[in-house]
Structure 1
């Protein structure tokens, strides 16, 4: 078992044990924020890079990557959260989130190799020239469509640290699906699940305005890429995520929200398949800015 998995497992057990303890009554403004159904819209910037990794003889572009995909796309999210009693425990926190991101991003390849004719000798003289084909590396860029689905769930317990502040440690479970139409590769999909831990820290600036800082770490599992009807199992790697959010109560029930979120994860290279192809190691960073509305049902 990977060390990261063992550490996450121990921390998760510690959190579950903590859930059995007592928790203080949360601030009313924060409690209202944590009992919402929200819809948000925003823009997600994705930066994806493939490295040559192993084998090292594969060509890369000037930036050191085999290819990259960078761009911003519209993103839509639906979130349900609840904080209250559950199975006899008070202030149990649960959250479900579904996010869909779709649009156009730019695919750039720095590993295209073409053959060109090169000759030796002195042009315009009777000297014998020797000509041969030699590889020349070039780059290629083109926009293409991209589609992502992210699903996640959380379970934790809220603890009041002051009359205006609350900390909620949690365990998380989620999944990621990405479909891209890279030029020359047809449909290419990446999928993975993940499990991890995190903490949500919230502070009520006023009875209507709450700010929250969320940070978590996780381990991916079941990572794979599908291309040309071939499945490439990918190596699992840790991922990190963080967000900063603001929630303002326009009325008792209706709130407006704004947030900035960042996530970073990697996949390890696959083994060579029967088709004598493989999927290189890669890493992805997403940054999302969003605004939305939410209905507080408590």
Structure 2
């Protein structure tokens, strides 16, 4: 019986040595660069204001490619296992536009449109060790988003946002860390600038983000990672603005979702 107990104890020690929270902490201390492919899914919806069309007005869908630069750290700075993360991302390309001429039927105009996305985000959280393989890190996040849309003479949408979320990290084997995160927040300072027409505020909305990823340490200071992120938010209708000739214009309600596939490398510290 003593021999069996000793064997079980040694086995437990061996397993923990090959999958413990130190791998998770190591994955949280690195500089990273990623290549990204972002699927854009945007829909504008009319509400019949001033006898204009209702329902779907136009859509933009398609993939744009880009990159992201990031830094993350988990150190004992204040609360213990303090988690800090910052990321800057850019993407550009062409999307498929479906719309209509003024007063026309949706679908009567089909073309392509340029799109450029710029995102910045930063997080602060605290990691809680659940067991030797699992860590849970609640966090707060602040960020900003900008979309340069190539329709008409050019339109730029932007907003800031804040949110709260949680990062769950699991290390099933030595050097491998699987992560899942989810965040709920709100946009603020939402705005649109339509070149040659008007610039004004848009209504804010809830914002949702979620993601899964895998990080593998090929060497002590060299990591590789893959993942998929999802983000969704709305813009509510703007005010009306005079555009000359007795006409007014406004930005209708819209819904935006992004699905981002990513692969990258990291330098651990």
Check whether TM > 0.5.
yes
Q: How many residues align?
A: 245
Question: CA 1:56/1:72 → structure 2, altered by over 3 Å: closer, same or farther?
Answer: farther
**Matched-pair contact (CA < 8 Å) for 1:40–1:78:** yes
Q: Is 1:257 paired with 2:213?
A: no
**Structure 1 residue 110, shift from structure 2 partner:** 3.7
Larger radius of gyration: 1
CA RMSD of aligned residues (A): 1.6
| Secondary structure of 2:131 counterpart | coil
Give secondary structure in 1 for the equivalent of 2:249: coil
CA contact (8 A) 2:36 2:260 kept: yes
The residue number in structure 2 matching 1:278 is: 250
Deviations 1:88-137 (A, max 9, x none): x32100000011010111111045446xxxxxxxxxxxxxxxxxxxxx77
Matches within 5 A, 1:56-205: 57-59=51-53, 64-87=55-78, 89-110=79-100, 112-113=102-103, 139-182=108-151, 185-205=152-172
The structure richer in strand per residue is: 2
Check the 8 A contact 2:34/2:262 in 1, yes or no.
yes
> Structure 1 stretches (4+) deviating beyond 3 angstroms?
110-114
Q: What displacement does 1:168 show? A: 0.3
- 1:210 corresponds in structure 2 to 177
Question: How far apart, CA to CA, are the structure 2 residues paired with 1:146 and 1:214?
Answer: 27
Q: Secondary structure at 2:53's aligned position in 1?
A: coil
Q: 1:6 — aligned with what? A: none
State the alpha-carbon separation in 2 of the partners of residues 113 and 175 from structure 1.
Answer: 34
Name the CA distance, whole Å, in 2 between partners of 1:138 and 1:169.
44
Q: What is the rounded CA distance, in whole Å, between the counterparts of 2:49 and 2:67 in structure 1?
A: 39
1:51 aligns with 2:45: yes
Q: Given the superposition, is the C-alpha separation of residues 170 and 54 from structure 1 closer, same or farther in structure 2, using an over 3 Å criterion? A: farther
Note closer, same or farther for the CA distance 1:85–1:54 as it changes in structure 2 (3 Å cut). Answer: farther
Contact 1:174 1:194 in 2 (8 A): yes
Question: In 2 relative to 1, CA 84–107 (structure 1 residues): closer, same or farther, beyond 3 Å?
Answer: same
